Chains A and B, each alone.
Chain A
Amino acid sequence: MTRAFLGVSLIAVLAGVVGAFVMLKGLAFIGDAIAHASFGGLVAAMLLGLPLHLGALAFALATAAGLTALGRRTGLRADTSLAILFTGAFALGVLGLASRPNFTGDLTALLVGSVLAIRLGDIYWILAAAAITGVVLLTSFRHLVYISFDPSGAEAAGLPVAGLQWLLLSLVALTVVVSLQAVGVVLVVALMITPAATASLFVRRLERLLAAAVACGLAATWIGLYAAFSLSPPPGATVVAVATAQFTAGLVLRKLLRRRPPGAGSAGTTA
């Protein structure tokens, strides 16, 4: 249980930080697609007897690279090339599983995760992903902001925009892969997007948005895990449900705050 708690908390921090970029750049669909594509990698690794993370990471990174390349070379709309890539990789995974009927028992765990089965090895993967993300953000945070805000201007000034875009997608891929064990292919994008979206309801500065997204993610994780351990629903889904409830409550709260007439905040107190 301590391991599950630690693992999911680390994931919440990582997903909150990366998720803020994913939300701001409108990459939610891409994050979801990378997660589905990594399913193909998981199955391939399973069939070949390789570490699952490695297979998932290979497929996720290949999807990220394929997206950057397809978008630039074919002139296809990004969502078109995306849909082709991730459904193709997901289909490969399904075909792989079908070829070994005895694996079907693991399908649910792959799709919706299995928090309690987090092992020490998974924690190391999460720590490694967090360390890599930390180094990338320490050195390239401003560059990533620049290409997100004004890609054409950044490219003209000499920034390697394609490389930076691939770097950002790779961080998304890494986050997705290390989160799979906990929440699975289908729910992982919620861990990135929902806390960031909740934070964005109240915060306008990027640095604060990152911090608030992490805080929302951690709160959803802890409440979700506590509920799951006391009432025993599936933990991954519970965490995501709490995050969604958080967002809904945030929407209502913001509406209430905005409806209050100016100056009403000091009503009942002396100025």
Chain B
Amino acid sequence: MAGDDVRICVEVRNLTVGYDDRIVLRNVSWTVPCGTSAAIIGPNGGGKSTLLRTLVGQLRPLEGTVRVLGRPPGQAGPLLAYLPQSEHIDWDFPIRAVDVVLQGALARTPWWRPPGKDAYAAAMAALERVRLAAEAERPIGALSGGQRQRVLIARALLQDAQLILLDEPATGLDAPAQHELLDVLDDLKREGRTVIATTHDLNCLTDHFDTVLCLRGEVVCQGPPAEALKPEHLQAVFGRHVPLVTAEGRVTIFEHRT
């Protein structure tokens, strides 16, 4: 298993990537050691989602190299779980929460074998771990935004993914829901899994992520939050509206006037 012998879960060297007519990210070099958590921050259009989509193999690098769990992007199979931005998922699809979790078993079981009672029990256990066992039978569309994210995390647990990528998981969640989500992400890390999330919620970073990567078309800063999130870096990332993180981990946003 790649997770056993690979120490670096994500290795990006001199990556330039974009779409047909425009380059979104230039010359990004970044590594994420296995078993750590990393937040990718930056403004809209700064390249956060583009980087994640490159890691899962949905976008090809124009230049540079990318290794995910020691393999080229798109080759990690069930070792990788990707939670796309909420609007890419059809939440009206008529399935129950537990059915979504059971999807995690598909990547690991032979095509022709239906999931048995074992898989159902494992799915219930996964829901228990994200504190949603009581919601198992409810339609996925009836759950709140935070609960939906945790159902997808339960799916990643059933899949036994070693690397979990989340694109804007905290968007639209109120503070209690964000903290429930972050508690679950902490659990994942404690189990030795690697967690990478894009976010613009700086408040949570200091408490919950080991490193941050600040993107605005290129790398503006990276490192442990306390070192990377200096006022001058944040201003370079966010422009006039700069969120500042205090020693207690609180954020204030001030408008920078020149």
Question: Which A residues are closer than 8 A to B by beta carbons?
Answer: 24, 75, 139-140, 142-143, 145-146, 148-159, 200, 203-206, 209
> Is residue B1 within 8 Å, beta carbon to beta carbon, of the partner chain?
no
Is the pair A156, B81 in contact by a Cβ cutoff of 8 Å?
A: yes
Is there an interface contact between B81 and A153, defined as CB atoms closer than 8 Å? yes
Chain A contact residues: helix, strand, loop or mixed: helix
**Chain A residue with Cβ nearest B139:** A204
Instruction: Tell whether, in the assembled complex, residue A205 and residue B96 are in contact, meaning their CB atoms are under 8 Å apart.
Output: yes
In the docked arrangement, what's the CA distance between A78 and B88, Å? 16
Complex interface: chain A residues within 8 A of B76 (CB): 158
Given contacts A156-B56, A157-B107, A159-B106, contact A149 B93 (CB under 8 A): yes
Q: Does A149 contact B90, Cβ atoms closer than 8 Å? A: yes
Bound-state Cα–Cα, A209 to B248, Å = 52
B80:A156 contact, CB within 8 angstroms: yes
Most buried by B among A150, A205, A206: A150
Partner of A157, one of B20, B82, B102, B111: B82
**Which residues of A lie under 8 Å from residue B58 when comparing CB positions?**
152, 155-156
Q: Is the CB of A154 within 8 A of B103?
A: yes
Which residues from A are CB-within-8-Å of B145?
Answer: none
| Beta-carbon contact of B77 and A150 below 8 Å | no
Contact at B93–A152, with CB atoms within 8 Å? no
Least CB separation from A142: chain B residue: B106
Closest to B83 in A: A153
List chain B residues, Cβ under 8 A from A24. 90, 93-94
Q: B20, B82, B93, B96: which contacts A148 (Cβ < 8 A)? A: B93
Q: Which residues of B contact A154 (CB under 8 A)?
A: 103
26 A-B pairs with CB atoms under 8 Å apart are: A75-B20, A139-B112, A142-B114, A143-B111, A145-B93, A145-B99, A145-B103, A148-B93, A149-B93, A150-B84, A150-B89, A150-B90, A150-B103, A151-B88, A153-B83, A153-B89, A154-B103, A156-B58, A156-B80, A156-B81, A157-B80, A158-B76, A205-B95, A205-B96, A206-B93, A206-B94
A residues in contact with B103, CB < 8 Å = 142, 145-146, 149-150, 154
Choose from A159, A203, A209 the contact partner of B107 (Cβ within 8 Å): A159
Q: Which residues of B contact A203 (CB under 8 A)?
A: 94
A-B CB pair tally, cutoff 8 Å: 88
CB-CB nearest in chain A for B109 = A142
Q: Which residue of A lies closest to B56 (CB)?
A: A156
Q: A204-B94, A206-B95 are in contact. Are A149 and B111 (CB under 8 A)?
A: no
A64 to B81, CA, bound (A): 29
Whole-angstrom distance between the Cβ of A74 and the nearest chain B Cβ: 10
Question: How far, in angstroms, from A151 to B152 measured CA to CA in the complex?
Answer: 13
Q: Does B177 contact A (CB under 8 A)?
A: no
Q: List B contacts of A155 (CB < 8 A).
A: 56-58
Which listed residue (A140, A152, A204, A205) contacts B82, Cβ 8 A? A152
Q: A203 vs B95: C-alpha distance in the bound complex, in angstroms?
A: 11
Q: Does B125 contact A (CB under 8 A)?
A: no
Q: Given the complex of chains A and B, what is the CA–CA distance between A139 and B106 in angstroms? A: 11
CA distance A148 to B106 in the complex (A): 14
The residues in B between 116 and 134 inclusive whose CB is less than 8 angstroms from any CB of A are: none
> B159 near A: Cβ within 8 Å?
yes
Interface contacts beyond A24-B94, A155-B57, A157-B80: sample of 17 additional A-B pairs, CB < 8 Å, sorted by A: A24-B93, A75-B20, A142-B102, A143-B106, A146-B103, A146-B106, A149-B93, A149-B100, A153-B89, A153-B152, A154-B103, A156-B58, A157-B82, A157-B107, A158-B76, A158-B78, A206-B94
What distance in Å separates the Cβ of A15 from its nearest Cβ neighbour in chain B?
19
> Which of chain B's residues has its CB closest to A150's CB?
B89
A145 CB → nearest B CB, Å: 6
Contacts of A149 in B (CB 8 A): 89-90, 93, 95, 100, 103, 140
For chain B, residues 142 to 170, give those with C-beta under 8 angstroms from any C-beta of chain A.
Answer: 152, 155, 159, 161, 165
Q: Which residues of A contact B140 (CB under 8 A)?
A: 149
CA of A265 to CA of B88 in the docked complex: distance in angstroms? Answer: 39
Give the residues in chain B near A139, CB-CB below 8 Å: 111-112
Which one of B80, B99, B139 has the greatest number of beta carbons of chain A within 10 Å? B99
**How far apart are the CA atoms of A145 and B105 in the complex, in Å?**
13
